[in-house]
Amino acid sequence: MIPTPHIEAKAGDIADTVLMPGDPLRAKFIADNFLADCHQFNAVRGMLGFTGFYQGARVSVMGSGMGIPSMGIYAYELFKFYDVQKIIRVGTAGGIGDCLKLRDIVIAMAASTDSNFLRQYGIPGNFAPVANFALVERAVAAARAARADFVIGNILSSDTFYGDDPTAMAAWKKMGILAVEMEAAALYATAARLNRAALAILTISDMIFTHEATSSAEREKSFTQMMEIALNAATD
């Protein structure tokens, strides 16, 4: 089933490892600024995808769109039909933990969720989606080498951006959740189901309780330290 309904790439166009920001323009930024000998393999629905070389290693980058359903589609198609082995999400998150500040990096060891996405698997209990440990190790080593301000721990992948419950984030915070975003749990669960490797590396773009925030331009074109950490983890 190549091409798929959402990816027009041919067999062999996509590398074994894919970096996935939510924003397709951030995918283009990574390709333009970090990859050599780069070519575009996807533009279906504006979800740009590129393959090139980072320090001699072949790597792809592609947008995932916003939210668990969108990530679920693209991660499944990349893993299942293009034989991708590793996906690293590079995105933004809202900081919840008191240990965080704007532009800090979170390496997501696990991804809790308020979504019903996991019910599709018919598991008689609560599945805990976690990152691939080898990728976590590589990301931690790359973050330390870059002298980055980073934290490792559990995040929340939420289905709602404008939630109706004003107490929800405080409830997640008391369970040690560091930050909230909208895609990682679907990525981790899909990787688990298909026996692949996944990781999310996130930059704190806003603080939930203090309302500090970065601009949309910063979110699209900066946060380069996160991108370099992910590329080094992917190609090590």
Residues designated as active site: 206
DSSP 40: E
- Amino acid letter, residue 219: R
Q: 14: closest CA among 23, 27, 25, 26?
A: 27
Q: Where are the beta strands (DSSP E) in the chain?
A: 17-20, 36-42, 49-54, 57-62, 86-95, 105-113, 150-157, 179-181, 197-207
Rounded CA gap, 211 and 110, in Å? 25
Rounded CA gap, 54 and 33, in Å? 10
- Opening angle at CA 65, ends 112 and 117, nearest 5: 35
Cβ burial 54-67 (10 Å sphere, 16+ → b, else e): beeeebbbbbbbeb
The length of the chain in residues reads 236
Q: Are 235 and 35 a contacting pair, CB within 8 Å?
A: no
Q: In Å, how far are 31, 41, 158 from 112, measured between CA atoms?
A: 30, 32, 8
What tokens does 94 get? 């809202």
